[in-house]
Amino acid sequence: KNQVEQSPQSLIILEGKNCTLQCNYTVSPFSNLRWYKQDTGRGPVSLTIMTFSENTKSNGRYTATLDADTKQSSLHITASQLSDSASYICVVSANDMRFGAGTRLTVKP
Partner 1 sequence: SQTIHQWPATLVQPVGSPLSLECTVEGTSNPNLYWYRQAAGRGLQLLFYSVGIGQISSEVPQNLSASRPQDRQFILSSKKLLLSDSGFYLCAWSVLSIKSSYNSPLHFGNGTRLTVT
CB 80, min distance to partner 1, A: 23
Smallest separation (angstroms) from partner 1 to the CB of 100? 6
Cα→Cα distances 94→30, 60, 71, 83, 98, Å? 5, 27, 13, 31, 8
Residue 61 φ/ψ region, left for φ over 0, alpha for ψ in the -120 to 50 degree band, beta for the rest:
alpha
Please, what is the minimum distance in Å from the beta carbon of residue 79 to partner 1? Answer: 25
Residue 27: what residue type?
V
Residue pair 19/11 in contact (Cβ under 8 Å)? The answer is: yes
Residues that bind partner 1 (CB under 8 A): 2, 4, 9, 31-32, 34, 41-46, 49, 51, 89, 93-102
Q: Amino acid identity, residue 9?
A: Q
Nearest residue (CB) to partner 1, 80 versus 103: 103
C-beta closer to partner 1: residue 9 or 83: 9
| Closer residue to partner 1 (CB): 32 or 63 | 32
